[in-house]
Amino acid sequence: MKTIRIGVLSTARIGRTKVIPGMQKARNCTVEAICSRDESAARRTAEALNIPKAYGSYEALLADPGIDAVYNPLPNHLHVEWTLKAMARNKHVLCEKPLGLNDGEVNRLINAMAVHPEVKVMEAFMYRFHPQWVETKRLIDRGAIGRPTSIQSFFSYFNADPGNIRNKADMGGGGLMDIGCYQVSLSRLLFDAQPRRVLGWMDRDPEFGTDRTFSGLLDFGGRLSAFTCSTQLAPYQRVNVLGEKGRIEIIIPFNAPPDAPTEILLQQDRETHTITFDPCDQYTLQAEAFARAVLEDTSVPISIMDTFANQHTVDALFKSAEADRWENC
Ligand SMILES: NC(=O)c1ccc[n+]([C@@H]2O[C@H](COP(=O)([O-])OP(=O)(O)OC[C@H]3O[C@@H](n4cnc5c(N)ncnc54)[C@H](OP(=O)(O)O)[C@@H]3O)[C@@H](O)[C@H]2O)c1
């Protein structure tokens, strides 16, 4: 089978712990190089993770003709800048979420894609590749719970480290950008629509200036998604989708472990069944889907317009919370 050669921009924790090990299990890509602002960190990480090449700058990795695509897990404020630099070198890009700081930034990528139509760019919403989400979407689309009209979701953790990128407002930190973007994404996926208007509420950390808790209502016209996310609450994640005939509950919606089964609950009338999924690595599935689009020159499964619509919704939620009123999307 053909493979693509991936280079990793930085020694980010998510790359080291989840995404690179996931990619290394994929059948159609290899992790060929890693880089860092600190060359010794790049070397150490390359050695620990068995990556053939290490570079002491991001530019050096992008200049390597032996790299077909880059994985970009930089802090949020550097996503678009380095994705554009990679595109200018004709490298495909798998970029961490949220891809832009706002929809205007995503628009810059849309314009660049018109100049480099051969280059694939995909936002790394890995959850969508897990079979528990594929099955949830399939069940809803075939009417297993009737018309879905209500989504409720939580996603929280506690992290008050002032050095963490999530607690730096100028780097695109805060709860909505870090994890609320998943809740916006899954609502748009399951309702297969863009919300008409949104209402946001936030509590900012007085020291960091980031939204440490954000709650939102997404009005899809007769269907509603309500969510809360937080960087400073007890760790928890859960998604519930209700229709007039049933309910689906996803127990570990976002951080599904690669080495243990996962479960969703399907309630139909008064009976609740558990659907169990074998262990699988959602980061491997994401890498394979991205590499397949590159190798077969097909559309990436998460399109740039989907990314734009998601970011536009996030932007509207921030505007609503600031203005203390509904905001049209
Ligand atoms: N999909 C998921 O499951 C998931 C999970 C967690 C995070 N993420 C996303 O992944 C990205 C990285 O998150 P992370 O927690 O892995 O971050 P992190 O450990 O802080 O890594 C970010 C890396 O960016 C590089 N960097 C360049 N300029 C920097 C600057 N001014 N300040 C800090 N770091 C800088 C550093 O690498 P060098 O020193 O090597 O250059 C650093 O290691 C974020 O966009 C986040 O939203 C996704």
Q: What is the pLDDT of residues 82-131, one digit of tens each?
A: 999 999 999 999 999 999 999 999 999 999 999 999 999 999 999 999 99
Of the three residues 126, 143, 178, the one that is the final residue of a domain is: 126
CATH code, domain carrying 189:
3.30.360.10
Q: What is the pLDDT of residue 276?
A: 98
Sign of CA dihedral 100, 101, 107, 108: negative
Pocket test for ligand 1, best of 10, 85, 101, 182 (most atoms within 8 A of CB): 10
11 CA distance to ligand 1 middle (Å): 8
304 occurs within a structural domain? no
83 CA distance to ligand 1 middle (Å): 14
Catalytic residue ranges: 97
Of the three residues 110, 126, 142, the one that is the final residue of a domain is: 126
Q: What is the pLDDT of residue 161?
A: 98
User: Can you list the alpha helix ranges (DSSP code H) found in 72-124?
Assistant: 79-88, 103-115
Rounded to whole angstroms, how far apart are CA atoms 305 and 308?
5
154 CA distance to ligand 1 middle (Å): 23
In a shared domain, residues 55 and 147 = no
In a shared domain, residues 168 and 155 = yes
With vertex at residue 148, the alpha carbon angle to CA 234 and CA 309, rounded to the nearest 5 degrees, is 70
Determine contact, residues 198/320, Cβ cutoff 8 Å.
yes
Q: What is the pLDDT of residue 270?
A: 86
| Nearest-atom index, ligand 1, CA of 124 | 1
Rounded to whole angstroms, how far apart are CA atoms 213 and 202?
6
With vertex at residue 316, the alpha carbon angle to CA 100 and CA 255, rounded to the nearest 5 degrees, is 55
Q: Whose CA is nearest to atom 9 of ligand 1?
A: 96
Conformational region of residue 284, where left means phi above 0, alpha means psi within -120 to 50, and beta covers everything else: alpha
Determine contact, residues 317/216, Cβ cutoff 8 Å.
yes
Pocket test for ligand 1, best of 9, 13, 43 (most atoms within 8 A of CB): 13
Determine if the peptide bond prior to 98 is cis (ω within 30°): yes
Q: What is the pLDDT of residue 18?
A: 98
Which tens digits make up the pLDDT trace of 123-157?
999 999 999 999 999 999 999 999 999 999 999 99
Q: Whose CA is nearest to atom 17 of ligand 1?
A: 12
12 CA distance to ligand 1 middle (Å): 4
Strand ranges, E, within 36-109 = 53-55, 69-72, 92-95
268 CA distance to ligand 1 middle (Å): 42
Pocket test for ligand 1, best of 8, 58, 165 (most atoms within 8 A of CB): 165
Domain of residue 45: give its range. Answer: 4-126
Of the three residues 111, 126, 141, the one that is the final residue of a domain is: 126
In a shared domain, residues 189 and 207 = yes
In a shared domain, residues 177 and 196 = yes
In a shared domain, residues 154 and 229 = yes
Q: What is the pLDDT of residue 115?
A: 97
Tokens 């075939």 sit on residue: 142
| Nearest-atom index, ligand 1, CA of 35 | 40
Domain count, the chain: 2
Q: Which residues line ligand 1 (CB under 6 A)?
A: 10-14, 36-38, 41, 73-76, 78, 96-97, 124, 126, 165, 178
Collect the ranges in the chain with pLDDT lower than 50.
none
Q: What is the pLDDT of residue 269?
A: 83
